[in-house]
Structure 1
Amino acid sequence: MKKKHIERNKDSIACSGYKRAAAAMVAACFLMSGCSSSESNDKTEGNTPAATTEAAFTSELVVSVEAEDGSFTGSAKKETSVSGYSGSGYAGGLSKDGDAISLTFNIEKEGFHDLKFTCSTTGGFKSNYVFVDGESIGTIDLDSSAFTEVTIPHVWMENGEHEVKIEKYWGFLNVDKLDVMTGAPFDTSIYNVSPSLIDKKASDNARRLYKFLVDNYGKNVISGQYSEEGAFGREMAAIKKETAGTGSSLGEGGKLPAMVGLDMSYYSPTSVENGGTGTSIEKAINAWENNTIVTMCWHWTAPSEYLKGTWYSSFYKEHTSIDLDKIMNGQDDKGYQLLVRDMDAIATELAKLRDKDVPVLWRPLHEASGGWFWWGNCSAESYIKLYRLMYDKFTNEYELHNLIWVWNGQSPLWYPGDDVCDIVGTDIYPGEHVYTSQYPKFIETADIPSYRKIVTLSENGCLFDPDLAVRDGAMWSYFGVWSGDFVTGQGTIITYNEQYTDSEMLKKVYNHENVITRDELPVLTEYEMAPLAE
């Protein structure tokens, strides 16, 4: 097994339990000797703008395939009722699960290609799956009754025959044709991010952790795992045991994730009113004392006055009558005060971590644009107002300078601004045993801020293949596999669950030269600090 080149302090601080760095043999097309800029994080002071070098590239057509000439599964069929198509018609009829349109073609030269689909939808926005040679590469997301181009970029294809399959997810998609184009070279400037946190009073350990993230961004991926039991919970035990190999029932020699994910849900006033007892603060302190990175989300249970279902599920819109548009537009002052009360309660708890200088990758109000949580069951404008209110209260009123702000709204329309976000993330649950790098989502997320920020896979179901991430240039800063069945079952005996990621891929990931595990972390409390923003 190759040793990893993990970016550390200039003097390579010694630490028991991690390997000495050796030069990693990584694809030179995008791994660089220095990934950070020396300027401030204010976009007016020289951070790298999004989408720079790719703009100069001119893509060329490789092959064009008329969708009506493809093969059909289920209800899919050739149609002609929507005008504006090329050829003799288009492919439609995606209405039932399993319906699919398959297009085959030959590629003469291997490399990265852009798949440019010409499509339309019936009945507004629709999302549908796309597979290349049986591997999921993303979705066609469109809201247009007229035929419109939708591109999935940077898809690796070797020379020879290939199959692109469009399969029903939401359905009601009409596919006119597919143009396979030469792909742009990878834009290495994507990893040139700010060397400073947005908080001009960021704590020492927050600056140390952020410097470690910046130093490794584009080179290595930090392993992460959510576990309500903390850094040594059952998910961690299952991973350690499974990666230890044969003959080691207690997990000797196995690997542990470098980061633990925790939830502040049980600190919400509604949770406390109903007997909930939060333990994440103590577990965060314990994790940091054991040289483990901490990330936190908040499944915010709605104020009791707005409950219309079970309290413990009231972060879902179906279980609450809360109307965030009215609250943030000044039409429901009581609701506003209750949300402020809840934020005060969480800030008070997070202050315990501040007082011990435990840095936290803080990911509030996540997955908003999906609409399933109450903070996303509103306009983007109301969500942004709430996010910015929280940032102001936590940073300026409560002085929580230990927080590194991770935005995870999933859509550029819901982005709250470069000035209140350090890291941009996305959550991806692609199914079972889907090991692609998820490059399209990586680049889509990277392009949301005005200026480059670290990009993370803030939640995921199955792991991705690190070799594909290296090949594609989708070097997520870290990943955070969700807890429970995504890793282990609920039985008394802790065993690894292969439903989403099989054992071999788990071992490959945790032993990969470009994946950082807990034993390979430097002493984070002694790491060099990032400069403060000016």
Structure 2
Amino acid sequence: MKSNFKKVISTFAALAVTAASYTAAMPVGAVGSGNADTFPYTIEAEDMEGASVWTNNYGPAPKNTSGEGFFYLTGGSASFTVTVPEDGMYTITARCAQVLDKNGRQESIAVNGIKRMKNMPYSEEWVDFSFGSFRLNKGVNTIEFINEYGYMAIDTVTVSATPKHDYTLAEGTLTDKNATPEAKSLMAYLKSVYGSHIIAGQQEIYGGGHGGNYEWENEYLKDLTGKVPAIRGVDFMNYNPLYGWDDGTTERCIEWATERGGIVTASWHINVPKDFKNYTLGDRLDWKECTYKNYQSGEGSKDFDTRNVVIEGTKEYEYFQLAIKDLAAQLTRLQDAGVPVIWRPLHEAQGNEGNYSDGTAWFWWGDRGAETYKQVWKLLYTTLTEEYGLHNLIWEFNSYDYTNSASWYPGDDYVDIVAYDKYNVEYNRGDGKSSGPNLLAIPAKFDALYALTNGKKMVAMAENDTIPALDNLVVEDAGWLYFCPWYDGGNDGGTAFLGAAYQDFDELKKIYQSDYCITLDELPVDLYTNGGSTPVPVQVEKLIGDANCDGKVDTLDAVLVMQYLANSKNYPLTEQGKANADVDGNGISSSDAQAIQKLAIGG
């Protein structure tokens, strides 16, 4: 019998985050007091090690500094240390001004040696500029402003505990009002586990790789971890009007969902003819004469104009309609079999932040910029749902965290989930290492996608190389809905994303075997009929004072009660927790927190 749900996050990790978050409610320390155990903590910038006092800079000088003056980031770096009680996420904000570049200037900060850059807008007056949220470790941490591009005046720097994401904001309903019962049920289940669990996924190889063994990745993971991923990633690229051939993808999806009880996610590397000008619609081509690359990459079609895809009567429009027809035939087979799909078409459109003008966009669907891309997305959405009557799709949009990424978003009415593709082993590591697995949970990327829709859409890691470490995911509040490493080339060569260069095998086993991660054997039996089984309460008998329902009474229960009283939306209690927390039976109040504290110390 499959379990209904996995248990909540491991007690220790969750309590560590709770304790770190609680510091946000503590009294504010005096500026420059050096009391780094009180948050928010603020330091005068000129008091940082390596800083000097400035009262004027190159250009307009901001007025009314809070101390003797300010620190001007030029010629040398400056740093300070801060002590935190627990591992957790903290936001670093500087009161600063930048008068050198009206287009903004890249500024660098390093936290415990790990550097991050952010563009500081032009400002002649003091503004509060956030460098983002960072993980600080229990004990002493070093924060440094690095002189790379510099020329930024800093008055004060504040470190504050980062509020946890409110995962309850995510929508559990689909944009398609005619969604199938199976799609609605799957969406409800995803919503129910979002923020408290991560679902294991794995992309299968395609095109006959591994000698035609499409279970290679699953067998490999089962041997290594004892578990099989819950989500199967596939690609419908081979169903196309050019060289199209049936590689059994649709049959595998049906078997995966209906016989093995798994979840399907699908991408679509749809090809176009390289010599589009001389191509006759409907003709078959050798796959070597086809491409999904962008126009100016040297591999893309020189004659296929993405702008014409949305203009009826053009050759590009007619070709795209042929491609949709082939795709819809397979998606219809899935719908008829009762199989919903987390559908991720036209992915990585902003890859490399490329537009047609600079030729760096990865795929043809992104090579004419954001406005054209959104039109193509909406055309695909309406054609599949309205013309072909496909309502088994959960629409997933691939986003990035560039300054202009929001301009690529098709809109809340056309997107159900937003996703990021994590590849940071070779480039942009951010962990201070030069090679090997990169275990970061990339919370800054998660924050950016969460902010894209103000938390309304669930956020997934649709592709990745290294699976993030369990500890990083939990402590850094990076509540990715699922992960899904790209396929492993294995004995056929290619990118071995399940190999030692990309995966830390100990961490891989740890997350797969944890309560936090949901694997195939742990999906509910009513996944496609009732949104997943109703969770079984962790505790059925009342334990006075046990607000977090972990089976014991300690000071962290008192902390949780105080958080709940301050902000019940961000720090909710379960019904069982509320019953336990009401010590005196008169409703939950600060007196209950005091009573719980006494119980915890045996008073």
Q: 1:519 aligns with which of 500, 518, 521?
A: 521
Give the 5 Å matches for 1:347-426. Answer: 347-370=328-351, 371-410=361-400, 411-426=405-420
SS state at 1:183 partner: strand
2-side partners of 1:311 and 1:69: how far apart? 61
Give the aligned partner of residue 339 of structure 1.
320
Corresponding position of 2:468: 464
Cα distance change, pair 269–329 in 1 and its aligned pair in 2 (3 A): closer
What secondary structure sits across from 2:42 in the alignment? strand
Equivalent positions of 1:118-517 (< 5 A) are: 132-134=111-113, 139-142=116-119, 149=129, 151-162=131-142, 164=144, 173-174=149-150, 176=152, 180-228=157-205, 233-243=215-225, 254-272=226-244, 277-288=246-257, 289-306=259-276, 311=289, 313-317=291-295, 318=297, 319-321=300-302, 326-327=307-308, 330=311, 333-370=314-351, 371-410=361-400, 411-431=405-425, 432-449=436-453, 452-484=456-488, 490=492, 497-517=499-519
Matching residue's letter, 2:530 = E
Q: For 1:358-397, what per-residue CA distance to the aligned partner results, in whole angstroms no more than 9, with x for missing partners?
A: 1100011111122321211122111111111111011111
Give the whole-Å Cα distance in 2 for the aligned partners of 1:231 and 1:186: 46
3-state DSSP of counterpart to 1:339: helix
The answer on 1:90 being equivalent to 2:90 is no
Per-residue deviation, 1:304: 4.5
TM-score normalised over the length of structure 2 = 0.65
**CA distance 1:19–1:306, shift in 2 (3 Å):** same
Question: Using a 3 Å threshold, how does the CA distance of structure 1 residues 209 and 28 change in structure 2: closer, same or farther?
Answer: farther
Measure, in 2, the Cα distance between the counterparts of 1:236 and 1:126: 46
Specify the code of the residue in structure 1 equivalent to 2:198.
Answer: V
Larger Rg: 2
1:98 counterpart residue number: none
Secondary structure, in 3 states, of the residue corresponding to 2:407? helix
Confirm or deny: 8 A CA contact 1:106 1:159 kept in the other structure.
Answer: no
Letter in 2 for 1:460: N
In percent, how many aligned pairs have the same letter? 27
1:105 counterpart SS class: strand
* Structure 1 position 195, deviation (Å): 2.8
Residues 223 and 122 (structure 1 numbering): CA distance in 2 closer, same or farther, change over 3 Å? farther
CA–CA distance in 2 between the matches of 1:368 and 1:108?
A: 42
Match of 1:62 among 42, 64, 67: 42
Q: Is the 8 A contact 2:236 2:268 kept in 1?
A: yes
Unmatched tracts of structure 2, length 5 or more: 19-23, 29-38, 52-56, 63-68, 207-211, 279-286, 352-360, 426-435, 533-603
Mark the CA change 1:70 to 1:294 in structure 2 (over 3 Å): closer, same or farther: farther
Preserved contact between residue 114 and residue 180 of structure 1 (Cα < 8 Å): no
Partners of 1:327 and 1:125 in 2: CA distance: 35
Change (3 A) 1:303 1:220: same
Would you say how many aligned residue pairs link Structure 1 and Structure 2?
Answer: 453
In 2, Cα distance between equivalents of 1:426 and 1:307: 34
CA contact (8 A) 1:228 1:280 kept: no
SS at match of 2:166: helix
Q: Which runs of 5+ in 1 are unaligned?
A: 1-13, 32-53, 72-79, 93-100, 244-253
CA RMSD of aligned residues (A): 4.1
Q: Deviations over 1:436-481 (max 9, x none)?
A: 2211111210121256111111111111122222222211111111
Q: CA deviation at 1:175?
A: 6.1
Kept after mapping to 2: 8 A contact 1:489/1:496: no
